[in-house]
Amino acid sequence: MQPRPPRTAWQALAHPLTLPRTCWPWRAVGYLATGAAGGAVLLGVLVLLTGFSLLLVGLPLLLLAGVAVGAVERWRLRLVESDPAPDPHRVPEAPGLAAWLRLRAREQATWRELAYAVLHATVLWPLDLAVLAVGLGLPAALAGAPLQLAADGHEAKVAKAYLVTSYPEAFAVALLGLLLLLLLVYPLTGYAGARAALARALLAPREAELRQRIGEVTASRARLAAAFEAERRRIERDLHDGAQQRLVALTMTLGLARYDAPPGPLAEQLAKAHTEAGQVLTELRELIHGIHPQVLVDYGLGAALADAADRGSTPVDTSGIDAGLPRLPAPVESAGYFVAREALANIDRHSGAGRARLTAVHADEVLRLTVEDDGHGGADPAGGSGLTGLADRLAVLDGTLTITSPPGGPTLLRVEIPCRPLPPSPERSASSSPRTASSSARD
């Protein structure tokens, strides 16, 4: 198996025999040369902005200069590192320059970039220039000894230190310069790698890369949740508009045929088929309701929770459902509804409870649901109660599910989902109260 090609200047140093034949020394030279040139310009800019800052005008400009330097330096890292450096800054939640400046002033990354800009303008670029002068300029001066001697005709003072008076001597010095260049390739590349590592540590720390990856995972999870919810709605819509309508038509046809048929075995078979079709239709409606209840779409989570409480066999107190519960993002409403419905179903099947209580409030941009019963307790989510999968679904929304169920009861299930309410719309404002909506949905 062939070894993986190096992705940084540091990794290239691990192959000393092939390093001079690769592009990494030239990339190191380009990195140091642009750093020296940019640092000299940056020094003048910072001196000018520092003068303005004495009048309390240049401090925001200094911050802007640090941010700009950080962006340029992260781009320059590609010369000696193949992997791009992540941007450590967050995106402002509000548009506009003022929000952008407030966020940047509070971020540690902004001050690290300013510190790096000062370090680059005062210390790093002179070092870059010195390394280039020794690692590239000195060998070049020695290698150019024959040309210097030819230009003068009599003698040449190579590197301002050694006097050459003959061509054999000049060619020997040139050969020495080429050998020195070959040797100095290694420390020059190593310095460029160390210089890039320092820049990455200050301008693109590991935490920024982790934050970027976490952001990508969060966005991916949100897309999965939205896709899952859209697929639920599609299945519900297809069943409602397709199979259910056909069953309704079939039930009506069987009913008409039953009344038109003369008394006898045929009428009895038609009556039986009519009854079976009605049962299938009822089951299909319950299935559609379980996939995605229409009351949740039309009236929101509060009405859907009240409707779910009315469907169970255990009496449920729903006075804790906030009557002013706002409309929330569809994945949040769906997850909250199905968790509550599963909890109520578990109460009916396993708890032996005489009463239950359901609460739902939205405050501080967090939806909080609780389901409590007076049953015998001992509920274990790991025992196959159906709540484990719902807990995973809540995790996609950064939500949490906790259950407290000591032996003897009571059992308390608590759900918290961070979310923001949706802006009001004419359709939503026309919705009725949860209890009224629940009753209309059941009708």
**Tens of pLDDT, residues 69-103:** 999 999 999 999 888 888 888 778 777 888 888 88
Q: Is the pLDDT of residue 177 over 90?
A: no
Q: Which residues, including other chains, have CB under 8 Å from residue 129's CB and lie 6 or more apart?
A: 36
Most confident of 235-244, 252-261, 278-287, 336-345: 336-345
* Reported confidence tier of residue 191, pLDDT bands at 50, 70, 90: very high
Structure confidence at residue 105 (pLDDT): 85
Q: Which residues, including other chains, have CB under 8 Å from residue 432's CB and lie 6 or more apart?
A: 299, 303, 440
* Reported confidence tier of residue 208, pLDDT bands at 50, 70, 90: low
Q: What percent of the chain has pLDDT over 90?
A: 17
Structure tokens at 203: 């301008």
Q: Is the pLDDT of residue 438 over 60?
A: no
Cβ neighbour number for residue 339 with a 10 Å cutoff: 23
- Tens digit of each residue's pLDDT (9 = 90 or more) over 251-304: 788 777 877 777 777 777 877 787 777 777 766 666 655 566 777 777 888 888
* Reported confidence tier of residue 441, pLDDT bands at 50, 70, 90: very low
* Region for residue 160 given its phi and psi (left: phi exceeds 0; alpha: psi -120 to 50; beta: otherwise): left
Q: Can you tell me the distance from the alpha carbon of 395 to that of 221, in angstroms, rounded to the nearest whole number?
A: 9
How many C-alpha atoms does 279 have within 13 Å on its Cβ side? 6
CB 46 within 8 A of CB 58: no
Calculate the average pLDDT of the chain.
80
Distances (CA, A) of 174 to 97, 133, 157, 179, 328: 58, 17, 13, 9, 77
Cβ neighbour number for residue 95 with a 10 Å cutoff: 8
Structure confidence at residue 432 (pLDDT): 45
Order of strands across the sheet with 316-321? 316-321, 356-363, 366-373, 411-418, 400-404
Domain boundaries defined on the chain: 9-204, 229-291, 294-442
Structure confidence at residue 46 (pLDDT): 86
Say yes or no: domain 294-442 is CATH 3.90.1150.10: no
Mean pLDDT of the 404-427 span? 83
